[in-house]
Structure 1
Amino acid sequence: MDARLNYFGNQLGAKFLKYINSAGHALGLSSLPAATQELVKIRASQINGCGFCTDMHTKDAAHAGETQLRLNLVAAWREATVFTEAERAALELTEQGTRIADAAGGVSDAAWAAAAEHYDEEQLTALVSLIALINTYNRINVIVRQPAGDYVPGQYA
């Protein structure tokens, strides 16, 4: 399948990508654990049906040392025993922040409290920003039907 639009290959798309990549780089410098960041990106991408981002972030996570077992279980994290309580809180916040229209009032107080129990203010800021950012990437890629499967770790570094 070909993309509907070479979004990242045209001048406006490339400029927009430059800015959102800068935001992503800033989040990567935060104290939010890198493994948690990848889990968040993977889970949001799965929910949004973004094959391109799911491909990218599972490969990036594996390249960074994430185990195949944990990658296989991201979609079923509630039943899996391989995630820490902090990671579970981040994944719950990711799900609720991604499916924001599914619940009246958006993210529940319980999900927020669980995340706040494990992450400090800077990390929560990074987590909220990361959830918003990956949802932005997902929506662009899904709308233009960006093909998945050919990503190589480090390709866009």
Structure 2
Amino acid sequence: MDARLDLFTNPVLGKFIKHVNAAAGVATSAGVPLGTLELMELRISQINGCAVCVDMHAKELAHHGETTVRINLVATWREATVFTEAERAALALAEAGTRLADAAGGVPDEVWLEATKHYDEEQLAALVAVIAGINTWNRLNIITAQPATGEYVPGQWG
């Protein structure tokens, strides 16, 4: 499978990606554990079917010490008992923020209210930024048919 466009050498997409990366980077300074943000990115990428990002975030999680069990159970987090209540709230928000068309009115109030029990306003903003950022990356990769080569090395892209 060949990509339709090269995301990094295309002049328009290259500029766009620089802004996406800069915007996404602010989320890591809000005090949400990096592992939680990576779990969210993995789950969103699974939902969207972005193989490039699934590969990347699974490897990043492992690189940062996450267990294989938790990485493998992200897809079924609701039935798994290995995630904290805060992580579960973040994953629920990630799913709701990704599947906007599934619920009339967008993210259900109960999902948002559960997240507010575990995260302050700055952290909630970081969760929203991560959801928006990885959904953007998933769409860039899927629309341009980026192949998942399995060759991603943790830390390679930031």
TM bucket (normalised to shorter chain) is over 0.9
- Residue in structure 1 matched with residue 19 of structure 2 by the alignment: 19
Q: Unpaired runs of 5+ in structure 1? A: none
TM (normalized to structure 2)? Answer: 0.96
CA displacement 1:107-138 (0-9 Å, x = unmatched):
11110010000000000000011101110000
1:65-93, CA deviations, whole angstroms, 9 ceiling, x for partnerless residues?
Answer: 11110000000000101000010011011
Q: Matched residue of 1:119: which SS? A: coil
State the match for 1:92 in structure 2.
Answer: 92
Deviation of 1:7 after TM superposition, in Å, equals: 2.2
Aligned partner of 2:80 in structure 1 is 80
The percent identity for this pair of structures is 61
1:70 & 1:97 partners in 2: Cα distance?
22
Distance 1:98 1:6 in 2: 25
* Superposition RMSD in Å: 0.9
Normalising by structure 1, report the TM-score: 0.97
Q: Which amino acid aligns with 1:8?
A: F
- C-alpha distance in 1, partners of 2:106/2:142? 23
Does residue 155 of the first structure (1) align with residue 156 of the second (2)?
Answer: yes
Alpha-carbon separation, structure 2, partners of 1:11 and 1:137: 17
Find the aligned partners of 1:8 and 1:61 in 2 and give their Cα distance: 24
Q: Determine if the alignment matches structure 1 residue 35 to structure 2 residue 35.
A: yes
Is it true that 1:61 corresponds to 2:54 in the alignment?
A: no
Q: Gapped runs of 5+ residues in structure 2? A: none
CA distance in 2: counterparts of 1:96 and 1:25, whole angstroms: 22
SS at match of 1:82: coil
For this pair of structures, how many residues does the alignment match? 157
After the TM superposition, which parts of structure 1 deviate over 3 Å for at least 4 consecutive aligned residues?
A: none
CA distance in 2, matches of 1:28, 1:118: 17
Aligned residue for 1:119? 119
